[in-house]
Structure 1
Amino acid sequence: MLNDEERYQSLLEYYPNAKKADWQLVIAGQRVQIIKNAKNKPVTLQFGTETFISDDKTVFGLLGASPGASTSPYIMLNLLEKAFPDKVKNQWNAKLHEIIPSYGQHLEQNPTLLNQIRRYTSEILGLNYIVTQQEQTNQPIKPKQQPANSRCSFVK
């Protein structure tokens, strides 16, 4: 909301030696917050993105900020499952499992598959993956619990 001169004056408060000619405005990114008011449910605040689909499944899309690389596959798979449930379960299922070997499985309940996925991705990324004691004994991995005071919810 500031003009160039006001931004520069604000910068001088933190860096008194700043020269105006050395600085330029760059948009660093954005965060989007979605406020949902569902019937008979408390209002929730969500961050990032949310998919939507019409009842007749002819219109679907993504609301919010552009998702990052870590969430894009999950969001797109979620959208495919909503928009094309029959094709995902039947025609596309084998291909989805070929692309994503862990598709549809909970890795925290399958330590053997979790270990295989970690080894594979570590090899591809050139990382040194070390199997933990818990993984060596094939004990289920317990998911970390969300703090009780957390007010954020995420779209599944």
Structure 2
Amino acid sequence: MARNTITLIWIAGLVLAVLVYFVGPDRFMFSAFDLINGIWFALLAALRNLSGITFDLVRALAIGLWFVFAVLALLVIRRTGTGHAALLVVSLIFLGLIWHGGGYAGFGAHTRWAAALILVLVAALTMTRRLTHPAARSPLGPPPHP
């Protein structure tokens, strides 16, 4: 065994002895369990906060990406003359997913917002592809310019 490892073991043991002395040998186990319990509750509180933060992030991203999709869809409509149906259908599905009053049984708000986020992400990526790849704009090609 390396000399450094043995030295670290001796130092850790002496630090533990000093800690036990100041806490009190009879209260050391209680203090150790109390510390572990405090860390556990802090971790659970952080996870609860993270869940709320994550939900807010998903909702914000979904709304922002719907805006990106809508603007890109309008550009596609302006450039190619197609995309009206995509804009209407995706927007209606998006609104249906995020609407507070409805939804299927067991289809909670977190799941609906996540589905809405995925929907508008795919739709925005599709519109981006239609704008950046000339061959993918329309099977018939771009409309004639007047």
| TM-score range for the pair, normalised by the shorter chain length | under 0.3
| TM value normalised by structure 2 | 0.25
